[in-house]
Amino acid sequence: MNRKTRIAVVGAGLGGLTVAGFLQRAGFAATVYEQAPTFSRIGAGIILSANATKVLRRLGVEPDLIEAGIKAECYISRAWDTGATQYDIWFDAESERRFGGIYLNVHRGDLHAVLEKAVAPGSIAFDHRLIDLQDTGGGVRLVFENGTSAEADLVIGADGIRSKVRDVLLGPELPRFVSMVAHRAIFPARRLDGFKIPDCTKWWGRDRHLLVYFMTSRRDEVYVIGVVPRRSWEQDAASVPSSRAELMEDFAGFHADLQRVLEVTTHVSIWPIFDRERCDRWSGGRIVLLGDACHPMRPYMAGGGAMAIEDATILSRCLAQFDEPSDVYRWYETTRVERVGAVQRISIENSWMRGPTDTDWFYCYDPCVAPLTRPA
Ligand SMILES: Cc1cc2nc3c(=O)[nH]c(=O)nc-3n(C[C@H](O)[C@H](O)[C@H](O)COP(=O)(O)OP(=O)(O)OC[C@H]3O[C@@H](n4cnc5c(N)ncnc54)[C@H](O)[C@@H]3O)c2cc1C
C-alpha cells in the first residue's frame, strides 16, 4: 500500500501500539488516538507467552520488558483440594529456543510504559476519545470527544471490547456478561513473610479458578486473580471494591497453600468478565478491526493480549504487502480467523493447561514470519 496512506489507529492498547510500531517501521505515518489522558499503573497483571514476546523483541523492547516484568520459571496447575500438580511447564534457555521467545509476567501499567517506546515519539494523541467516524468521500473523519477531529484514509479499530469503531462498522451491540467475575489483588510479597510460592500457579476448582503470580523479577509484587460465578452484573463501573474476606469466602475449602496467600491479600476489587459471540467479519470500507475490538475472549487462557499482538503483526504485514484495502482485509482475516477461533473456543472451555497440554502450536507460532493464508 502507498506509504502516503494516512492511517489512524484508535486505541493505544497492546494491539494498537504494536500495529503502529510496525507500520511506522514500514514507512507509514501512523497516528494513535487514545482516550486516556495518560497511561496509569492500574491494578492488574498480564502474562505474555512466547508467541507475543517474540513480536515485541522485533519492536526492540525486549530488554525493557525483561526489566519491567519477570521471566517466569514455571507455570503450575494444581488441584483445588489436594494441591496435586495436574500439569506443569518449565521455562528456561531450552524452552526459549524451542518456543522462540520468553514467557513473561508483568504489571499492565509497566507493560504499557514499555510499549510506548515501540512507537515514534509524539505519535500517540492522548485524551482523544473517538465518538464518531464520518465518511468524507475521500477519506474518514475521526471525531473526538475533546472537540477536535482528524482525517485518515484508513482507520484501524484497536479500541478494545467496547470498540466505537466496531459499532460504526457492525452496528452497536453490547458485550455479553459471561456470568463470571474476577477478584483481583496486588500486594507486596513481603506480606507472605517468607512463605515460598512458585512464579505462577493456577488453582483449579470445579466452577472457579485462581491464578497467583509474581510480576517483577525481584519477586516483590504478587498478583492474584480469582474467577467465580456471579448471576448478574448491574453496575456501570468497570470494577468495584471488594475485600479479602469476600475473596476468601469465595475460595473457602481450597488448599492450605492457597489460603496462606489469600490471607495476606490487600486492595481487592471485583471485575465483571465480558466477551462477545464469535463474528468473523473484521473489516469493511476504510475500517479494519483487531484484538478485543473484533474478538474479545474470556481471560482463562491468558491469550487475548497475545491475539491482539499477533493480529497487529499480520495486519501490518498485509498493509505493507498489498495495494488494495480489500486484498489487505481478505488476507488478514483469512490468516487470522481460524487461529483466533481456536483460542476463543479454548478460552470458553477453560481447558488450557488444566492437564497435559500441547503448547507448541500456540507458543511456537511467529506472526512476523508465518505464511499468510491465501483467501479462497
Ligand atoms: C481479567 C483479565 C485478565 C487478562 N489476562 C490476560 C493475560 O494474562 N494475557 C493475555 O494475553 N491477555 C489477557 N487478557 C486479555 C487482554 O487484556 C486483552 O485481550 C487485550 O488487552 C486486548 O488488547 P487490545 O489492544 O485489543 O485492547 P485493549 O488492551 O483493551 O486496548 C484498547 C485501548 O483503546 C482505548 N480506547 C477504547 N475506546 C476508545 C475510544 N473510543 N477512543 C480512543 N481510545 C479508546 C482504551 O483506553 C485502551 O487503551 C485479560 C483480560 C482480562 C479481562
Q: Is the CB of 226 under 6 A from ligand 1?
A: no
**Atom 3 (ligand 1) nearest CA:** 299
Write phi, then psi, for 254 (nearest 5 degrees): -70, 165
What is the 272 CA–ligand 1 centroid distance (Å)? 14
- CA-CA-CA-CA torsion sign (348, 343, 49, 112): negative
Judge whether residue 43 has pLDDT over 80.
Answer: no
Is 103 catalytic? The answer is: no
Protein residue with its CA nearest to atom 9 in ligand 1: 302
Once rounded to an integer, what is the mean pLDDT over residues 329-346? Answer: 98
Angle between helix 14-25 and helix 304-321 axes, rounded to 10 deg: 30
Tally of CA atoms within 13 A in the half-sphere of 324 that contains its CB: 4
Question: Which residue has the CA at smallest separation from atom 39 of ligand 1?
Answer: 159
Tens digit of pLDDT for each residue in 62-116? 999 999 999 999 999 999 999 999 999 999 999 999 999 999 999 999 999 999 9
Q: Which residue among 110, 159, 311, 315 is best mutated to probe the pocket of ligand 1, counting the most ligand atoms within 8 A of its Cβ?
A: 159
Q: Distance, CA 13 to ligand 1 centroid (Å)?
A: 6
338-344: long-range contacts, CB 8 A cutoff, minimum separation 24: 339/307, 339/310, 339/365, 340/295, 340/307, 340/311, 341/278, 341/280, 343/297, 343/301, 343/303, 343/304, 343/307, 344/275, 344/278, 344/295, 344/297
Taking the centre of ligand 1 as the mean of its atom positions, its distance from the CA of residue 294, in whole angstroms, is 12
Å from CA of 106 to ligand 1 middle: 14
Q: How many CB atoms lie within 10 A of CB 145?
A: 12
CA of 296 to the centre of ligand 1 (A): 9
**Looking at the predicted structure, is the pLDDT value of residue 39 above 90?**
no
Ligand 1 proximity of 157 Cβ (cutoff 6 Å)? no
Q: How far is the CA of 269 from the centre of ligand 1 (A)?
A: 18
Q: Which long-range contacts (CB under 8 A, 24 or more apart) does 111-115 make?
A: 111/14, 111/46, 111/48, 111/65, 111/68, 111/69, 112/12, 112/17, 112/39, 113/39, 113/68, 114/56, 114/61, 114/64, 114/65, 114/68, 115/14, 115/17, 115/18, 115/21, 115/56, 115/61
Q: Which residues have CB under 8 Å from 330's CB, separation 6+?
A: 375
Residue 186: its H or E element: strand 176-188
CA of 76 to the centre of ligand 1 (A): 25
Q: Is the CB of 10 under 6 A from ligand 1?
A: yes
Per-residue model confidence (pLDDT) at position 42: 74
The DSSP call for residue 236 is S
- Helices 304-321 and 325-349: angle between axes, nearest 10 degrees: 170
CA–CA distances in Å: residue 190 to residues 220, 226, 264, 268:
7, 21, 10, 17
pLDDT at position 41, please?
Answer: 79
Closest ligand 1 atom, CA of 12? 49
- As a whole number of angstroms, the distance between CA 51 and CA 361 comes to 10
Residue type, 86: Q
- Pick the catalytic residue: 33, 75, 103, 213? 213
Closest CA to 51 of 94, 88, 104: 104
Q: pLDDT tens across 181-222, in order?
A: 999 999 999 999 999 999 999 999 999 999 999 999 999 999
Q: Whats the size of the chain, residue-wise?
A: 376
Using CA atoms, how far apart are residues 155 and 140, in angstroms rounded to an integer? 8
pLDDT reading at 234 higher than 90? no
Which of 31, 35, 56 to mutate for ligand 1's pocket (most ligand atoms within 8 Å of CB)? 35
Is residue 306 within 6 Å of ligand 1 at its C-beta?
Answer: yes
- Does residue 17 carry a pLDDT above 90? yes
Q: Average pLDDT, stretch 36-60?
A: 93
Q: What's the CA gap between 351 and 307, in Å, rounded?
A: 17
> Quick one: pLDDT at residue 132?
97
pLDDT tens-digit series, residues 265-317: 999 999 999 999 999 999 999 999 999 999 999 999 999 999 999 999 999 99
Quote the pLDDT of residue 172.
96
Residue 236: what pLDDT?
83
Q: Does the Cβ of 36 fall within 6 Å of ligand 1?
A: yes
Whole-model pTM above 0.75?
A: yes
Coil, helix or strand for 268? coil
DSSP 8-state assignment for residue 373: P
Q: Could you identify the atom of ligand 1 that is nearest to the CA of residue 297?
A: 19
**pLDDT at 356 exceeding the cut of 80:** yes
Q: What is the mean pLDDT of the chain?
A: 97
